[in-house]
C-alpha cells in the first residue's frame, strides 16, 4: 500500500465536504487532496479558509457531470480515493425544482462512477482504490413512532425528490460494485449540523434568525423527529469507513440523538439567550412561529449505527447538547462567514418553506 493517499473530494467546498477536508488534512497532512466543486449557491471557498494555501491541497472549480475534465483530473493527479459529497442537498429546493437534483445527484454520480471505473481499469484495478459515496438516511423513508431505527437492510422508500435522487445514486454505486467489482463504499448518515452549514438549513437558520430578531418558522406541529449528528463525528465515521471499511459494504452513521424539531429549536433559543451578548428579542422562544407543513414531510428518522460501531469501532464524540453548544458558539464567533450569505438566500425561487433538514 502507498504510504500516502491521493484523494479527489467532490463537493469539498460545501458544508460536510469542507469539514471533511479540514478533518482529513489534520489527520493525514501528507495526503494529496484535490477538491472538485462547481461552487453552486451552496459552495463557498471561505469554508476552506487557509487550506487553499497548502502545497498538497488543490481546488478545481468544475462540474461532476463533465466527463472529459474528470478523466484528466483522475489521471493527472493519480487519484486513488474518491470521496463523493457533491450533491444538491436541500429537500425544500427539491420540491420546487427537482431537475437539478436528478442532474447532479443521479447523472453526476453516474458520470463519476464511469470515469473512476475507467481510471481503475487503466491502472490494472489496484486493491487500495476506493470510491466512497456519501449518502443520507432519507433514502429509507419515514418511520412511525414505534418502528425500529433504519438499518443497512431497511428497504428503500424515498419520499422527496431529494431522497429519491440520492436513492438512485446509491443504487448505481451498489451496482458498480456488484457488476464491475469497483471497490465502493456507501455511507447513509442522519442530519448533520456544525460549522460552515449554509443558513438555509434548520440550525444555522435558527441561530441567525434569533440574532436578527426574525421569526423562527417551525413546520406543522414541530413534532417531526430527526437524529442529529455533529459534523465532526460524521467526518470521523467517514475516516473509519475509508480506512477500515470493506469494499461493497454499506454503513449507517447516526448519533443516537433523536430529537423533536420543536425541542431542538427551543434548546437553541435557550442556548442563544445564554451565550449571545445582545439579542433584539428575549427570550428567543417568543420568536417561534408555526408555519404550514412541508408537502410530504417525513415524520421520523432514526439510525441504527450498530454495524459501524461493532465492525469499525466508531462512536460519536458529541451528544446533541454538547454539539449544539459548540455550533452556537461557532456561529456567534463567525458573523463574517454568514453575513454575506444572507443575500444569497433571498434569491430562492420561493418564500414559504423556510427551514429544512
Q: Would you name the residues annotated as active-site residues?
A: 137-138, 162
Q: Contact letters (x/-) for ligand NAD, 102-131, by CB under 6 A?
A: --x---x-----------------------
CB of 268 to ligand NAD, least distance (A): 16
Pair 36, 64: CB distance under 8 Å: yes
Contact between 92 and ligand NAD by CB under 6 A: the answer reads no
Positions in 69-88 near ligand NAD (CB under 6 A): 85-87
* C-alpha span between 195 and 81 (Å, rounded): 25
Q: State the burial class of residue 110 (Cβ atoms within 10 Å of its Cβ: 0-12, 13-18, 19+).
A: middle
Please select the residue that binds ligand NAD; options are 94, 191, 224, 327, rule is CB under 6 A. Answer: 191
- Could you tell me how many residues make up the chain? 357
Q: What SS3 string covers 192-243?
A: EECCCCCCCCHHHHHHHHHHHCCCEEEECCCCCEEEEEEHHHHHHHHHHHHH
CA separation, residue 332 to residues 47, 207, 210, 230, 273 (Å): 16, 8, 11, 17, 12
Q: Which is nearer to ligand NAD, 91 or 328 (CB)?
A: 91
Contact between 38 and ligand NAD by CB under 6 A: the answer reads yes
- Omega cis (within 30) before 235: no
Three-state SS at 342: helix
CB of 193 to ligand NAD, least distance (A): 7
Q: Which is nearer to ligand NAD, 40 or 319 (CB)?
A: 40
CB of 125 to ligand NAD, least distance (A): 26
Please select the residue that binds ligand NAD; options are 189, 203, 242, 271, rule is CB under 6 A. Answer: 189
Please select the residue that binds ligand NAD; options are 81, 94, 184, 192, rule is CB under 6 A. Answer: 192
CB of 103 to ligand NAD, least distance (A): 7
* C-alpha span between 100 and 114 (Å, rounded): 20
* C-alpha span between 220 and 290 (Å, rounded): 6
DSSP letter string over 129-152? -EEEEEEEGGGG----TTSPPB-T
CB of 313 to ligand NAD, least distance (A): 21
Contact between 42 and ligand NAD by CB under 6 A: the answer reads yes
Contact between 17 and ligand NAD by CB under 6 A: the answer reads yes
Half-sphere exposure of 305 (CA within 13 A, CB side): 28
Q: With CB under 6 A as the contact rule, which of the stretches 27-35, 134-142, 308-316, 325-333 interacts with ligand NAD?
A: 134-142
Q: Which is nearer to ligand NAD, 46 or 123 (CB)?
A: 46
Binding site for ligand NAD (CB under 6 A): 10-11, 13-17, 37-40, 42-43, 63-65, 85-87, 89, 104, 108, 134-136, 166, 189, 191-192, 198
Amino acid at each position: 500500500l502507498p504510504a500516502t493517499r491521493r484523494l479527489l473530494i467532490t463537493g469539498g467546498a460545501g458544508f460536510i465536504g469542507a469539514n471533511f477536508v479540514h478533518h482529513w488534512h489534520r489527520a493525514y497532512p501528507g495526503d494529496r487532496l484535490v477538491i472538485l466543486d462547481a461552487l453552486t449557491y451552496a459552495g463557498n471557498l471561505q469554508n476552506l479558509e487557509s487550506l487553499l494555501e497548502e502545497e498538497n491541497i488543490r481546488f478545481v472549480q468544475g462540474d461532476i457531470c463533465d466527463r472529459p475534465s474528470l478523466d484528466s483530473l483522475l489521471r493527472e493527479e493519480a487519484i486513488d480515493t474518491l470521496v463523493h459529497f457533491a450533491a444538491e442537498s436541500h429537500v425544500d429546493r427539491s420540491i420546487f425544482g427537482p431537475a437539478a437534483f436528478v442532474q447532479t445527484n443521479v447523472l453526476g454520480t453516474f458520470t463519476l462512477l464511469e470515469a473512476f471505473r475507467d481510471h481503475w481499469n487503466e491502472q490494472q484495478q489496484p486493491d487500495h482504490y476506493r470510491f466512497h459515496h456519501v449518502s443520507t438516511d432519507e433514502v429509507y423513508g419515514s418511520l412511525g413512532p414505534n418502528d425500529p431505527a433504519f438499518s443497512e437492510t431497511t428497504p428503500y422508500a424515498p419520499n422527496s425528490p431529494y431522497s429519491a435522487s440520492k436513492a438512485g445514486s446509491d443504487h448505481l454505486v451498489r451496482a458498480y460494485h456488484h457488476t464491475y467489482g469497483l471497490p465502493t463504499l456507501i455511507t447513509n448518515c442522519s442530519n448533520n449540523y456544525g460549522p460552515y452549514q449554509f443558513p438555509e438549513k434548520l440550525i444555522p437558520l435558527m441561530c441567525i434568525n434569533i440574532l436578527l430578531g426574525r421569526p423562527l418558522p417551525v413546520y406543522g406541529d414541530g413534532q417531526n423527529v430527526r437524529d442529529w449528528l455533529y459534523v465532526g463525528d460524521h467526518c470521523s465515521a467517514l475516516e473509519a469507513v475509508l480506512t477500515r471499511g470493506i469494499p461493497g459494504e454499506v454503513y449507517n452513521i447516526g448519533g443516537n440523538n433523536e430529537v423533536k424539531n420543536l425541542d431542538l429549536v427551543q434548546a437553541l433559543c435557550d442556548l442563544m439567550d445564554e451565550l449571545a451578548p445582545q439579542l433584539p428579542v428575549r427570550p428567543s422562544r417568543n420568536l417561534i412561529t408555526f408555519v404550514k407543513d412541508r408537502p410530504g414531510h417525513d415524520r421520523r428518522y432514526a439510525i441504527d449505527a450498530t454495524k459501524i460501531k461493532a465492525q469499525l469501532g466508531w462512536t460519536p464524540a458529541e451528544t446533541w447538547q454538547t454539539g449544539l453548544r459548540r455550533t452556537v458558539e461557532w456561529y456567534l464567533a463567525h458573523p463574517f462567514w454568514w453575513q454575506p450569505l444572507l443575500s444569497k438566500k433571498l434569491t430562492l425561487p420561493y418564500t414559504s418553506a423556510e427551514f429544512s433538514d
